[in-house]
Amino acid sequence: MMIAPVGGAKHRLLPSCSTLALLAALALPMQAEAAGTRAGSTISNTASASFDTGGGTTTVASNRIDLLVDELLDVTVASGNPGDVPTTPGATGQVLTFSVTNSGNGAEAFGLSAIVNAGGDDYDPVVTQIYLDNGDGLFDSGTDTLYTAGANDPSLDPDQSVTVFVLATTPGSTADGHRGIVSLAAAAKTGTGDPGDSFAGQGEGGGDAVVGTTGADGEDAGAFLVSAATVTLVKSAVVTNSLSTADPIPGATITYTIVATVAGSGSVSGLAITDDIPADTAYVPGSITLGGGALTDAADADAGDYNGTRISVALGTVAGGQTRTVTFQTTID
């Protein structure tokens, strides 16, 4: 990082100027910003002395001292996410929210960048885009502005903030509970460095630009937390016959039990169980159950149906840690 030579004074003495120019300078507003007096403002002071030589009191004025306030370069970045943002393996367009605030005392543009490999997490999200908010605090790619570094770096007045959205893709290889960290960094375009470093003549209003306590760059981190779910199926069969044995002989009834178990912190949607009726067997009408409750064979309002060759049960959305049990019967030809 290139930094201008250190040593520029924090306040510069102005040369004598005309009365008109002086009045214009004094007319500048003296705003009480978080970082103090606005850069480019003029601070003027004249001393006076009075004395008596025996003929009455005489007052004399000193020369006037005019100080030009330099620009202080400071920035604050803060995550706007109350906690880890849920995501799923392979998900795209996942959003982290940040705010960037100019905590200096002059108008400044800031370059933005995302950091994804800082460590301390389980995977690296793939940052795809950065957007600048249109002012409503809600991400909308149709109304927010796509950020291009160097082309539309946000320029902020003192104390002004901009909301920044960082979009990322979650790799498909992530697993439930994996955490991925993304940091947003903002750096003053005038320059960064150690506190007290100075950029001569580059401050607002023509003064120096002086690096503040933040180093004129800042960053904060947000995180994605993978909330995934997996499904396992376990199928078992119990045989009963007229001989009161468990032998699969002609005429015996087979009761199939299928247990679907959803694991993980996420959920699955559109879960459905289907099972073809085995060859050399016949489906027992009305034998489908879900969680012990009977289902009809028709494709109607309940979750089950039989279409002549297979049974099907629609389970819908099921959260991790839950199971669903389906049973049906056939008889051996």
- What CATH number has the domain bearing residue 123? 2.60.40.10
Q: Is residue 3 part of a domain?
A: no
Q: Are residues 140 and 274 in the same domain?
A: no
Q: Phi and psi at residue 24, in whole multiples of 5°?
A: -65, -40
What's the pLDDT at 220?
97
Q: Are residues 202 and 247 in the same domain?
A: no
Q: Are residues 109 and 165 in the same domain?
A: yes
In 10 A of CB 307, how many CB atoms?
11
| pTM, two decimal places | 0.74
Kindly tell me if the per-residue pLDDT of 27 is higher than 70. Answer: no
Q: Is residue 55 part of a domain?
A: yes
- Give the tens place of pLDDT for each residue, 272-286: 999 999 999 999 999
Kindly tell me if the per-residue pLDDT of 326 is higher than 50. Answer: yes
Pairing of strands 322-332, 253-263: antiparallel
Q: Are residues 243 and 141 in the same domain?
A: no
| Residue 33 domain boundaries | 11-70
Pairing of strands 209-211, 198-199: antiparallel
Q: Is residue 284 part of a domain?
A: yes
How many domains does the structure of the chain reveal? 3
Q: Is residue 4 part of a domain?
A: no
Q: Is residue 1 part of a domain?
A: no
What's the pLDDT at 277?
97
Question: Quick one: average pLDDT of 66-84?
Answer: 95
Q: Are residues 269 and 309 in the same domain?
A: yes
What's the pLDDT at 35?
66
Kindly tell me if the per-residue pLDDT of 250 is higher than 70. Answer: yes
Question: Quick one: average pLDDT of 214-218?
Answer: 97
Q: Is residue 127 part of a domain?
A: yes
Helix, coil or strand: residue 229: coil
| Distance in angstroms between the alpha carbons of the first and the last residue of the chain | 83
Residue 266 structure tokens: 């996420």
Alpha carbons 104 and 39: distance in angstroms, whole number: 9
Question: Quick one: average pLDDT of 164-170?
Answer: 98
DSSP state of 215: T
CB 303 within 8 A of CB 314: yes
Q: What band does 226 get if pLDDT is binned at 50, 70 and 90?
A: very high
Residue where one domain finishes, among candidates 226, 248, 270: 226
Q: Are residues 242 and 311 in the same domain?
A: yes
Q: Are residues 82 and 180 in the same domain?
A: yes
Q: Are residues 261 and 315 in the same domain?
A: yes
What's the pLDDT at 14?
38
Q: Are residues 23 and 135 in the same domain?
A: no
- Give the tens place of pLDDT for each residue, 228-248: 999 999 999 999 999 999 999
Residue where one domain finishes, among candidates 226, 261, 294: 226
Kindly tell me if the per-residue pLDDT of 190 is higher than 90. Answer: yes
Q: Are residues 76 and 222 in the same domain?
A: yes
Kindly tell me if the per-residue pLDDT of 12 is higher than 90. Answer: no
Q: What is the CATH number of the domain that holds 316?
A: 2.60.40.2430
Kindly tell me if the per-residue pLDDT of 205 is higher than 70. Answer: yes
Helix and strand element counts for the chain (H, E): 1, 27
Q: Are residues 186 and 155 in the same domain?
A: yes
Helix, coil or strand: residue 313: strand
Output the average pLDDT for the chain: 90
Residue where one domain finishes, among candidates 42, 70, 98: 70
Q: Is residue 2 part of a domain?
A: no
What's the pLDDT at 24?
36
Q: Is residue 222 part of a domain?
A: yes
Question: Quick one: average pLDDT of 311-320?
Answer: 97
Q: Are residues 87 and 193 in the same domain?
A: yes
Higher pLDDT, 7 or 221: 221
Q: What band does 126 get if pLDDT is binned at 50, 70 and 90?
A: very high
